[in-house]
Structure 1
Amino acid sequence: MLDISQLVSLGSERAIKKTVSVDDTVGNSSLYLEQFLSTSACINMVVRMATEMVDQALPQGFISVGYHTEITHEEPTMMGAEVSYKVVLKEIDGNRLTFDFEISDKNGIVSYGKHVRAVVNYTKLLEKAKERMST
């Protein structure tokens, strides 16, 4: 069995700064919200950051997949604002990795939560998905 704790370290983190663009508002379901950072854009960036952190450390044939995400989006942030994303690996439990994340702008925290990824064998994942399609 793959020992993930030998490949990635607890406390590992990734941080980026980004200016909110029109692409970051896609996913808002209301015309009134089209100029605001969307919750879906927040999740997409967190998932991307966590995936990059983990997958580059995995041996060939293994990938990480999203398992669970919790997000609280407390404050509005508009297009043109600079936001900071921070993702920290907080727990490794078997094949599951739990990340805490925080998104902030110049006025403080905008959004926070946790994201869990599972490390899986890609070939087995593909086989399972194909089996589900055939039943």
Structure 2
Amino acid sequence: MEFNFNKDLKFTMEQTIKSSDTAISYGSGNLDVYATPAMTALMENAAMNCVQQNLPDGFTTVGIEISVKHIKATPVGVKVRAEALLSKAEGKKLFFKVEAYDDMGKIGEGIHIRYIVNSEEFMKKTAR
């Protein structure tokens, strides 16, 4: 099956940081600030949703690589947003530019690669 995507598809996800989103809660740090794994998950979710509506029924994407920089701390109670921009598509391999912001500016940036899969076939391969 061939997949065609318009370059520059964009999607934005937002959330307000809760105590469960902090580094201390994730175990990734000792401070009560937005955890890098939580920011990364929001970025991945934005990338997934960026292309999902353009996929045929029964298909989804899975993350295969991510590289992010968390450049600024954000406290609990602040709204954050992650933006994903589809920068390139090579067959089933999709490349995204991801960025995260709070109300003071950019807090993270990076690249994320996702791969298009048939959901049912993918899950059959993971069955044990």
TM-score surpassing 0.5? yes
What residue in structure 1 maps to residue 35 of structure 2? Answer: 38
What residue in structure 1 maps to residue 2 of structure 2? Answer: 3
Corresponding letter in the other structure for 2:46: M
| 1:58–1:82 Cα change, 3 Å | same
- Residue by residue over 1:18-61, the C-alpha shift from the partner in whole angstroms, topping out at 9 and shown as x without a partner, is 3222232141434x31x200011111111222222222221122
- The whole-number CA distance in structure 2 between the counterparts of 1:13 and 1:23 is 27
Aligned ranges 1:32-111 → 2 under 5 Å? 32-33=30-31, 35-111=32-108
User: TM-score, length-normalised on structure 1?
Assistant: 0.82
Corresponding letter in the other structure for 1:100: K
- The whole-number CA distance in structure 2 between the counterparts of 1:115 and 1:36 is 23
Corresponding letter in the other structure for 2:3: I
Q: What secondary structure sits across from 1:4 in the alignment?
A: coil
RMSD of Structure 2 on Structure 1 (CA):
1.8
Match of 2:116 among 111, 116, 119: 119
Calculate percent identity across the aligned residue pairs: 26
Q: What secondary structure sits across from 1:65 in the alignment?
A: strand
Give the gaps of 5 or more residues in structure 2: none
Larger Rg: 1
Q: Residue 129 in 1 paired to residue 87 in 2? A: no
- Residue by residue over 1:51-84, the C-alpha shift from the partner in whole angstroms, topping out at 9 and shown as x without a partner, is 2222222112221111111111111111122323
Q: How many Å apart are 1:110 and its aligned residue? A: 0.9
**Number of residue equivalences:** 126
Corresponding letter in the other structure for 2:28: S
- The whole-number CA distance in structure 2 between the counterparts of 1:82 and 1:61 is 33
Q: What secondary structure sits across from 1:76 in the alignment?
A: coil
